[in-house]
Structure 1
Amino acid sequence: MRVKAPAKINLCLEVIGKRADGYHNVATVLHTLDLADELTFEPAEGLSLQCQPPVGSEEENLVMRAARLLRQETGCTQGAAISVTKHIPIAAGLGGGSSDGAATLLALDALWGLGLSRERLAGLAASLGADAPFFLDGPCALAKGRGDLLTPLPRLQGWWAVLLCPPIALEGKTGRLFGMLTPSDYSDGSAAGALAQQIGDGSASQGDFAMARNAFERVADQAFPGLERYRRAFLAAGAPFVRLSGSGPSIFTLVGGAPEGQRLAASLHARGFEAHVAALV
């Protein structure tokens, strides 16, 4: 069985405040891209994983965590040989790990004939990461709570993302950036709600995307040395706006077609920056 696990971007991301359990409530609009990891699953005696390129330890890998969680929660004793080919930049704010984990839940549910409900799969996905439930269905949604309360939205047609993914590693990135936020970075979720409504009624424009926000923008510039240089280069190359995805360090803009995206990527290449161009799907 071969499946694809797509990347995502956050078209808008608001942090509403800290919860009693230590997590944060958010309001975010997510959309999948045709930039995707490839996963294969074959029946086997036990569980095994091959990943190219190698990504961290097997214990931390969300693919193995998802497979073991599924066996633990269902009592299933079947196994699988799993292979992952990574195309989504790692720890970049594009949801690659969460997407791989969600794809694993869906694929093994089918391979092992478990027949779990979407509700139960969503509960398992939520234990893997805040973005994982979104990847069970995609392609676009308004997410609230920890990111697990989803309102589906229609796919945005005809839009392309141009991405810059600075190779800036930061251990414990998401937790550290949440910890850097102050109440001045919090908002009430109305911006994400307004954008979701515009997407829902088909009126969303480039100006609406440009007016959206990401609560991590301020602290990301502090946390990722050199990120501002990428942002300036993006604007100098002609990006209509620049937005952080997730907790970064990836930044993106949206354009109205592949030719425009390729021209922007070529302009970035001429400045010494390698960009990804991906359709919203």
Structure 2
Amino acid sequence: MNRLERLSPCKVNLLLNILGRRPDGFHELETLFFPLPLHDRLVFETTASGSGIGLTCTHPELPTGPENLVYRAAQSFFAATGLPPAVRIHLEKNLPLAAGLGAGSANAAVTLDTLNEMHGRPLSTARLHELAAALGSDVPFFLQGRPALAFGRGERLESLPELPALKNLAVLLVHPGFGVSTAWAYRALADFPEALNGRPGRARQLAEALLGGTLAEAAPHFYNALEAPVLRKYPLLQWFQDFFREQGAVVALMSGSGSTTFALLPTLEAAEKARASLQAIYQAPLWSAIVTL
């Protein structure tokens, strides 16, 4: 029996710019993905030939059948290779659901890559990318571990080097205990024509600012079009941003379709102080994490 354990990371969108609705029903976008070392954990075990795909999960709200991206990624791998499905997968879910962090997409990408490794890498990198893109727009990003610009519906990637303006900063992330439906957020953009039909080039502009300048110089370029509908429906998320700026955050933004807010602060101590100040005020259940870059 072959057994592998893998950590499954997450991301924030330093920028998410929507460029209109496409004929295929998706939205054309440009975004700047930034990976973060906060993880779910996946355990893979090969089983007897033909025994199928078995998935278990520590989170009671997550389905363990074909509705789950991990299960679908495994189905996709075995269908593409022609190998008989024979794997048991356990997902230890540490990251919040419907949070805008791409954790489910990362789970799917890790599943594809790990199954490919366990079976001697029968699929090329390009083929894995095709399977990932079919599973979800964010999934291909997690097949590579670098910051990246993404275009199309998010599947066309352009990897970036390290971003000097972010070096030695602290990232404080807060999830308020409720999720936001990605599908709803994109539908709700119809009420915000300027956010739905953004100005092209903003993602590359931010990348260039982070590569060649300071965070203070880059700060005005951070942007998330989905904040228009989401912050209107959930004003608490706007309050989080305002609070973190009062605590010294240079940037505070919603990631993806939410509901996670992230703040960029100059030091670990500043991030810990901001979190403690928030916890002293906000009495409802709250998931938070701090990462140093």
TM-score (norm 1): 0.91
In the other structure, the counterpart of 1:22 is 25
Secondary structure of the structure 1 residue equivalent to 2:224:
coil
Runs of at least 5 residues in structure 2 that lack an aligned partner in the other structure: none
Please state if 1:269 is matched with 2:279.
yes
Query: Contact 1:98/1:135 (CA < 8 Å) preserved in 2?
Result: yes
Call closer, same or farther: CA 1:104–1:206 in 2, change over 3 Å.
Answer: farther
**Structure 2 CA distance for aligned equivalents of residues 22 and 74 of structure 1:** 29
Please state if 1:64 is matched with 2:71.
yes
Secondary structure of the structure 2 residue equivalent to 1:242:
strand
Call closer, same or farther: CA 1:196–1:236 in 2, change over 3 Å.
Answer: closer
Please state if 1:10 is matched with 2:20.
no
**Structure 2 CA distance for aligned equivalents of residues 159 and 147 of structure 1:** 26
Q: How does 1:117-266 map to 2 (within 5 A)?
A: 117-156=124-163, 157-170=167-180, 173-181=181-189, 182-185=192-195, 186-199=197-210, 201-224=211-234, 226-266=236-276
Write the letter of the residue equivalent to 2:187: G
String of CA shifts for 1:190-213, please: whole Å, max 9, x gaps. 2211112234x4435244135311
4+ residue runs of structure 1 moved beyond 6 angstroms?
none
**Structure 2 CA distance for aligned equivalents of residues 179 and 216 of structure 1:** 10
Call closer, same or farther: CA 1:225–1:78 in 2, change over 3 Å.
Answer: same
In the other structure, the counterpart of 2:40 is 37
Write the letter of the residue equivalent to 1:245: S
String of CA shifts for 1:241-276, please: whole Å, max 9, x gaps. 320100011111112332232222222222236431
Please state if 1:94 is matched with 2:101.
yes
Call closer, same or farther: CA 1:175–1:78 in 2, change over 3 Å.
Answer: closer
Write the letter of the residue equivalent to 2:97: I
String of CA shifts for 1:168-217, please: whole Å, max 9, x gaps. 234xx111111111321121232211112234x44352441353110011
**Structure 1 CA distance for aligned equivalents of residues 84 and 216 of structure 2:** 50
Secondary structure of the structure 2 residue equivalent to 1:269:
helix
Query: Contact 2:30/2:149 (CA < 8 Å) preserved in 1?
Result: yes
**Structure 2 CA distance for aligned equivalents of residues 2 and 206 of structure 1:** 40
**Structure 2 CA distance for aligned equivalents of residues 206 and 65 of structure 1:** 42
Alpha-carbon distance, 1:22 to partner: 1.1
Match of 2:91 among 79, 84, 91: 84
String of CA shifts for 1:134-156, please: whole Å, max 9, x gaps. 00002200001010111101234
**Structure 1 CA distance for aligned equivalents of residues 200 and 16 of structure 2:** 8
Alpha-carbon distance, 1:78 to partner: 4.3
Write the letter of the residue equivalent to 1:174: T
Question: Number of matched residues?
Answer: 277
User: CA-atom RMSD, angstroms?
Assistant: 1.9
Secondary structure of the structure 1 residue equivalent to 2:184:
helix
